[in-house]
Amino acid sequence: MSRSAHPAGPRHADVYPEGHYTAPATDLNELDPKVWSRTVTRDADGALTVGGIEVARLADEFGTPAYFLDESDFRARCRAWSDAFGPDADVFYAGKAFLSRAVVRWLQEEGLNLDVCSGGELATALDAGMPAERIAFHGNNKTVAEIERAVEAGVGRIVLDSFQEIVRVAHVAQRLGVRQRVQIRVTVGVEAHTHEFIATAHEDQKFGIALADGLAAEAVRRALTLDGIELIGIHSHIGSQIFDMAGFEVSARRVVQLLAEVRDEHGVELPEIDLGGGLGIAYTSEDDPREPHEIAKALSDIVTRECESAGLRTPRISVEPGRAIVGPTAFTLYEVGTIKPLEGLRTYVSVDGGMSDNIRTALYDAEYSVALVSRSSDAEPMLVRVVGKHCESGDIVVKDAFLPSDLAPGDLIAVPATGAYCRSMASNYNHALRPPVVAVRDGEARVIVRRETEEDLLRLDVG
């Protein structure tokens, strides 16, 4: 998770008698460009603007809570990733972070490929016109129906996650009279330094086939014997919200070792490796993410070096960033409702959303930042916990943060870096209506995923 420490700083320490937290040394009106999307700024009146539009206008037009996605930032990040990796590598955006038809079109326009992990994501990608050959299909338990759909559509690759799936995909492809390009997902035995629930390359979990005990080598052996599939490479995804490149380097090294073993045993040089996604972003000012060009260089250096020493041709590399592309491009806008100061503890600030639009704080103990955005304020900072409106005490959006002490009901506050895994993991808990996603670009704002309505909820309820 985010590595952020508690806000620290020498000023205003006397405001918090228990001494657990000291108020931030920085001005609360400052918007740290690390956590806010690129076109976010404060206007002369102190209100936040994104894409040139003031938040109060956005709130009036689209309501709250709502996610505002900075389209030009999204596109710039796509280009930064594809420029960093260059023409000899492929960038697959991981749709699980956030997917909609508009996003699929932007990806196409910016030259990216797409990783989908369910029939629903595949349907969205195809519906929005993503060429099937630019789609990779993932998942640890793809249904036969999903596999059929993917093979029929002609997806560029299916990433095989188990021995059973090797056979399932081969059978489906054979039945449909095609040869499906596949990769095998291996678990390389790396302990990624992130939250347990989003680490995926240690051995005791559900994804992939372990390199240990020769299992992955056996999977390759089987895949090479089946007519319905063409094994094009090896895939490894070690986890998410990772800052340290060491895990990726170990992963790359072990995947290349497997390629060398495959060459030695079968005389086949698999042409591709995929090193997954998982690059961390800044949720608070304490986080220091790597830039795409640093990541690309680190990965391609290690793969090239390892291949040279194994006497292998360097395979084509692909990566699957989700969070690192969309995460920083959006913020969630909330209206402040009830404000409840708890003497000697903290002030609970309730907003009109909560765990239904951002489950990450409850699920992973994720840390977020928050700012008053409808105006600036010079009031003293107060220690707050931003909570939602759900019937659950774990309904926390931002666990520990500072907001100005003159905060009042009706103010707008925003939580940055909510582009990834917030709308895509949103729920209807307490029959909450999932918020819209509004794309903002060059002074124009348009809904790309509309707000759910009570009719939407009731339409599913057919009893």
The residues that touch ligand LLP, with contacts defined as CB under 6 A, are 94, 96-97, 115, 138, 198, 237, 240-241, 276-279, 320-324, 360, 364, 420-421
Of the candidates 448, 456, 451, the one whose C-alpha atom is nearest the C-alpha of residue 100 is: 448
Question: Cβ of residue 115: shortest distance to ligand LLP, in angstroms?
Answer: 6
Place of tokens 């037009």: 61
Q: Alpha-carbon distance 436 to 448, whole Å? A: 8
Which of 130/373 has CB closer to ligand LLP?
130
Which of 64/241 has CB closer to ligand LLP?
241
Q: Which two tokens stand for residue 292?
A: 């795409």
Question: Cβ of residue 374: shortest distance to ligand LLP, in angstroms?
Answer: 28
Which of 133/365 has CB closer to ligand LLP?
365
Q: Which helix (H) or strand (E) holds 187?
A: strand 180-187
Q: Which two tokens stand for residue 238?
A: 């070690």
Q: Is there a contact between 410 and 335 (Cβ–Cβ < 8 Å)?
A: yes
Q: Is there a contact between 149 and 142 (Cβ–Cβ < 8 Å)?
A: no
Question: Cβ of residue 75: shortest distance to ligand LLP, in angstroms?
Answer: 18
Q: Is there a contact between 413 and 370 (Cβ–Cβ < 8 Å)?
A: yes
Question: Cβ-count burial of 251 within 10 angstroms (0-12 exposed, 13-18 middle, 19+ buried)?
Answer: buried
Which of 16/92 has CB closer to ligand LLP?
92
Question: Cβ of residue 31: shortest distance to ligand LLP, in angstroms?
Answer: 23
Question: Cβ of residue 416: shortest distance to ligand LLP, in angstroms?
Answer: 15
Which of 321/416 has CB closer to ligand LLP?
321
Beta strands per DSSP E along 343-404: 346-351, 371-372, 381-387, 396-404
Of the candidates 137, 41, 42, 66, the one whose C-alpha atom is nearest the C-alpha of residue 446 is: 66
Question: Cβ-count burial of 206 within 10 angstroms (0-12 exposed, 13-18 middle, 19+ buried)?
Answer: exposed
Question: Cβ of residue 379: shortest distance to ligand LLP, in angstroms?
Answer: 33
Which of 195/375 has CB closer to ligand LLP?
195
Question: Cβ of residue 136: shortest distance to ligand LLP, in angstroms?
Answer: 9
Q: Which two tokens stand for residue 142?
A: 């793809």
Q: Alpha-carbon distance 87 to 71, whole Å? A: 24
Q: Alpha-carbon distance 288 to 36, whole Å? A: 14
Q: Which two tokens stand for residue 334?
A: 């909330």
Q: Which two tokens stand for residue 222?
A: 């089987």
Which of 138/290 has CB closer to ligand LLP?
138
Catalytic residue among 78, 117, 307, 391: 391
Place of tokens 């080598």: 217
Residue type, 55: V
Known catalytic residue: 78? Answer: no
Q: Which residues are catalytic?
A: 391
